[in-house]
Amino acid sequence: MIVSLVVATDRDFLIGRKNGELPWHISADLRKFRSITLGHTVIMGKKTFLSIGKPLPKRENIVVTTDKSFYFPGVSVFDSLEGALDVSLACGAREVFVIGGADTYRRAIPFIGRLYITTVDCFIPREEGDVLFPISDIDMSDWNEVSIECVPPGEDTGGYRIIFSCYEKKGGLKNETIS
């Protein structure tokens, strides 16, 4: 099973606003996210799920939280990322996608074999956003860039230039148990 991480950041690796929302609404990024994750399992923290507000359609939705009372129809809940990954593997998932937030990304880094990084060519002021992707926890010298696509500014990019990059861990992708 491939464990992939999907994230959209600004140039300073900002991924969220103080109110729990994304710093932008970019149609091109949402389409790319949907095309990558459709038909697969998506794993997220509780705050990310609550910011979305509902299960993502045509995907197995997993929320990782220590809140034992958390329940939402159509969502599987696990108290650990490792448990969610082990069950996904046991159920035959070929690729699962960790989709946020920052704490969930940080916990997932040791298991990641593929990175999908969308860079929005802008800088969001820190007074508008305070959630950062933990890029310093990833040694990019351990990764090979396997694809890159640049999309010029336009209506479906929110007026920003967008860069879609995909990286794979050097040494190949592994199919093994997690815990």
| Residue 174 pLDDT class (50, 70, 90 cuts) | low
User: What pLDDT is recorded for position 179?
Assistant: 47
Confidence tier at 177 by pLDDT (50, 70, 90): very low
pLDDT above 90 covers what percent of the chain? 86
Tell me how crowded residue 59 is: count the other CB atoms within 10 A of its CB: 16
For residue 122, count other CB atoms closer than 10 A to its CB: 16
Round to whole Å and give the CA distance between 79 and 162: 35
Domain count, the chain: 1
Q: Is residue 178 part of a domain?
A: no
- Expressed as residue numbers, the domain containing 123 is 2-169
177 within a domain of the structure (yes/no) = no
The answer to whether the beta carbons of residues 130 and 16 sit under 8 Å apart is yes
As given in the structure block, the two tokens for residue 107 are 């916990």
pTM over 0.75: yes
Mean pLDDT, residues 133-143 = 94
Q: Report the distance separating Cα 178 and Cα 89, nearest Å.
A: 8
In-domain check, residue 175: no
Q: What is the CATH number of the domain that holds 49?
A: 3.40.430.10
Is residue 40 in some structural domain? yes
Across 16-21, average pLDDT: 78
Residue 46 inside a domain? The answer is yes
* Residue 174 belongs to some domain of the structure: no
| Angle at the Cα of 38 from the Cα atoms of 152 and 6, rounded to 5 degrees | 55
Mean pLDDT of 73-88: 96
Match 């074999």 to its residue by tokens: 113
In a domain, 176, yes or no: no
Cβ count near 151 (within 10 Å): 18
Assess if residue 22 is contained within a domain. Answer: yes
Confidence of residue 52 (pLDDT cuts 50, 70, 90): very high
CA–CA separation, 46 and 52 (whole Å): 10
How sure is the predictor about 173, in pLDDT bands with cuts at 50, 70 and 90?
A: low
